[in-house]
Structure 1
Amino acid sequence: MATFLFHDRYLDYHFGPQHPFSPVRQEMTMDLLAALGAPLNPVAPSVATREEVRRVHGEQFVEKVEAASDGTPPPEARAFGLDTGDVPVFENMDAAARGLVGGTLHGARLIGDGDATRVLQFGGGLHHAHRARASGFCVYNDLSVAIHALREQGLRVAYVDVDVHHGDGVQHLHDDDPGVLTVSLHETGRALFPGTGHVEEIGKGAGRGFSLNVPLAPYTEPDSYLDAFEHVVPHALQHFQPDVIVAQCGADAHFNDPLADLLLTTQAYDTIFRRLLALADDHAEGRLLCTLGGGYQLDTVSRIWALLALIVLGGELPDTLPNDYRERWEARLDASLTPTLHDPERTFDVPRQSSIETQNRRTSEQALEQVASHWHYA
């Protein structure tokens, strides 16, 4: 049985009603899981302390976030990635961000102390935050704080990121540590924020060879994505042999997402989530910490994250969604919802799809080629 982490304070991480990174995503998913009778039994973690955040982030940056937490941008806020379209300041920003960090850190400690094997942190996944800069809807990097805590216990950590955007913050915060393997599958930075995550980015210094990037072409369909995943991720984990896998489970590679161009379906996500569990069993004695992340179409993200929760927790997958849940949210959103957990069967009419598949296969091969010559030093 997995441990499920959630607290209502997660909903305080809120950039405003027009911002895509909305806590309504979690609110809606939690309501769906309750309507389905999912066995959540949520554990409420504590808020991360300032000192815990400082293990990853610089003092000046934390001071700027604290100063912005009255809702007013402090001087030079933009030099630290604050007061931008992606990261507008809001009241209690520091406390809200530390709340998410606290959840992911708590999950890491449960696993590191042997008190849990599978943990689903139903928030966080703020993978774009850098040491001294907020970025891409992310203030503090909860993933890196958690990875740092696991490393303090001497554990080797494999980080697998399936968000449609490159996990740049996590990669850069750990790219000189040979005890952290980062693997990111994402839409190519040549087409999408943050513009990084090329196959040539393989780490630095002692960590060279322990960052893998698989930048996928726009309009990648599920079969091609899953082919790239299978070509790279199991092979990398087999070589690295982690003690723990940390997974960022963003839902924005779905074909309905408004901020990106990959074409995954809920069926593809079902496969990815089950593979993460199986790979944790195969290579990390089952130890797996999952977080949320991106995903910006409410009907879609609520179904994908409900799917994640049910798979990780071992719940039954329903064919149809409860009518009362759908009626409640259709009225609130003034939009119709998909009546089933999975997408209706569909095909994509993408020109030159065979060329995209060939390009993605070559990219996955190049990702492994880039690191292979360094692995014999591990």
Structure 2
Amino acid sequence: MATLLFDDRYLDYDFGPDHPFSPIRQEMVVSLLDALGQPIDPISPPVASRAEVRRVHSESLVKKVEAASDGRPPPEAWDYGINTGDVPVFENMDAATRGLVGGTLHGARLIAEEKASRVLQMGGGLHHAHRDRASGFCVYNDLSVAINTLREQNLRVAYVDIDVHHGDGVQFLHYDDPGVLTISLHESGQYLFPGSGGVDEIGEEAGEGSAVNVPLMPHTEPESYRDAFERVVPYALDKFAPDVIVAQCGADAHFQDPLADLLLTSQTYEDLFRDLLSLADEHTNGRILCTFGGGYHLDAVVRVWTLLALLMQDLDLPDTIPADWRTQWQDQLDASLTSTLHDPEPSFNLSRRPDVREKNQQTSTQVLEILAPHWY
């Protein structure tokens, strides 16, 4: 049974009503689980302290975020990735972000102290934040703070990122640590933010060979994505032999997502989540910490994360979504919502399907060939 982490203060991480990284996503997931007869009884984790954030981030960045927390951009905010279209300033920015960091950090501590093995942090996943720069909707990097805590306990950490965007912040914050394996499957940076995540990014110095990137072609369909995952992820985990898996479970590779171009379905996500849990059982005695992340089509992301919450608790998956819940949220959002938990099976009419599949297979093979000398 999974330990779930959530607090209403997570909803304070709010860039405003027109920003796609909206806390309404978590609010809808919590309410849908309740409507399905599976209300959560989460642990309310402590807020991360300033000192805990500083284990990853520079003093200059933290000071700038603190200065922005009155809702007004401080001088030179842009130099730190703040007051941009992606990371606009909002009141209590520092405290709100430390709230999310605290949840992921608490999950890591529960695992390190053997108080839990399977943990779902119903927030966080801020994988783009760098040491001294906010980026891509991410102010502080909760994942790296958590990974550092696990490393302090001499645990080998495998980080698996299935968000559609490359997990650049986490990768580069641990780029020279041979005890952290970062694996990111994402739409190629040739086409999508943040522009990194090529197959040649494999780590440096003592960490050379501990970064794995699988950049996928736009319009990658479920079968091709699953093929890449199955070629690379189990093999990399087998070679690395982790003590714990940390997974960023962004849902923005879904075919309905407006900010990217991959074509995964809710059925694909169910398979991926089951794979991650199975891989944790196989390699880490079940120890896995999952977070949320990206996902910007509300109907899709809420259903995908609800699937994740149910699967992590070993609960049955319902076929339909309660009509009363859909009516409530459709009225609030002025948008239609799918009546089933899974997608109606889509049909993608792609003339370039063979080319996409072939390119992705070549990429997967290239990844393994580049890293092979470092794994034997």
TM-score by length of 1: 0.99
> 1:318-337 counterparts in 2 under 5 A?
318-337=318-337
Is the CA contact 1:40–1:313 (under 8 Å) kept in the aligned structure 2? no
Question: Would you say the 8 A contact 1:101–1:140 is kept in 2?
Answer: yes
1:78 to partner: Cα distance: 0.4
**Structure 1 residue 39, shift from structure 2 partner:** 5.2
Other-structure match for 1:3: 3
Are 1:356 and 2:356 matched, yes or no?
yes
Task: Answer whether contact 2:120 2:290 (CA < 8 A) is retained.
Answer: yes
Point out where structure 1 has 5 or more consecutive residues left out of the alignment: none
Q: Does 1:196 align with 2:196?
A: yes
Q: In percent, how many aligned pairs have the same letter? A: 69
Query: Match of 2:57, as an amino acid?
Result: H
Residue of structure 2 equivalent to 1:50:
50
**Which residue is 1:34 aligned to?**
34
**Equivalent AA in structure 2 for residue 96 of structure 1:** A
- Output aligned runs, 1:144-159, within 5 Å: 144-159=144-159
Which residue number corresponds to residue 219 of structure 2? 219
* CA–CA distance in structure 1, aligned partners of residues 42 and 32 of structure 2: 15
Cross-structure match for 1:79: 79
Q: Does 1:125 align with 2:125?
A: yes
Contact preservation (8 Å) 1:159, 1:182:
yes
RMSD over equivalenced CA pairs, Å: 0.6
Deviations 1:198-235 (A, max 9, x none): 00000010000000000000000000000000000000
How far apart, in 1, do the equivalents of 2:335 and 2:70 lie?
Answer: 35
1:304-361 CA deviation, whole Å, 9 max, x = no partner? 0000000001112111000110010111111111000000112211111011001001
Query: Which 4+ stretches in 1 moved above 3 angstroms?
Result: none
Distance in 2 separating the partners of 1:224 and 1:98? 37
> Following superposition of structure 1 onto structure 2, how do residues 267-286 of structure 1 map, counting pairs within 5 Å?
267-286=267-286
Q: Secondary structure at the match of 2:299?
A: helix
Q: Distance in 1 between matches of 2:66 and 2:264?
A: 38
- Could you tell me how far apart the structure 2 residues matched to 1:37 and 1:99 are? 28
- Corresponding residue number in structure 2 for 1:343: 343
1:371 paired with 2:358, answer no
Q: 1 CA distance for matches of 2:207 and 2:115?
A: 29
Does the 8 Å contact 1:123/1:291 carry over to 2?
yes
Report the equivalent of 1:94: 94
Match of 2:240 in 1: 240
Give CA deviations for 1:103-154 in whole Å, capped at 9, x if unaligned. 0000000000000000000000000000000000000000000000000000
Alpha-carbon separation, structure 2, partners of 1:26 and 1:150: 26
**Counterpart Cα distance in 1 of 2:47 and 2:342:** 34
Q: Secondary structure at the match of 1:212?
A: strand
Structure 1 counterpart of 2:44, which letter? A
Counterpart Cα distance in 1 of 2:351 and 2:263: 13
8 Å contact from structure 1 (residues 39, 315) kept in 2: no
Query: Take 1:287 and 1:39, find their aligned partners in 2: how far apart are those partners?
Result: 24
> C-alpha separation between the residues in 1 aligned to 2:107 and 2:335?
35
TM-score by length of 2: 0.99
CA distance in structure 1 between the partners assigned to 2:267 and 2:355 by the alignment: 23
Q: Superposition pairs for residues 258-297 of structure 1, below 5 Å?
A: 258-297=258-297
SS at match of 2:277: helix
* In 2, Cα distance between equivalents of 1:183 and 1:365: 15
2 CA distance for matches of 1:354 and 1:267? 22
2:236 is paired with a residue whose SS is: helix
Q: Secondary structure at the match of 1:258?
A: coil
SS at match of 1:120: strand
Name 2:170's counterpart in structure 1.
Answer: 170
Q: CA deviation at 1:375?
A: 1.8
The 1-side partners of 2:328 and 2:127 are apart by 32
Q: What secondary structure sits across from 1:88 in the alignment? A: coil
SS of alignment partner, residue 133 of structure 2: coil
Q: Report the Cα offset of residue 97 of structure 1.
A: 0.3
CA contact (8 A) 2:30 2:40 kept: no
Aligned residue pairs, count: 376
Counterpart residue type for residue 8 of structure 1: D
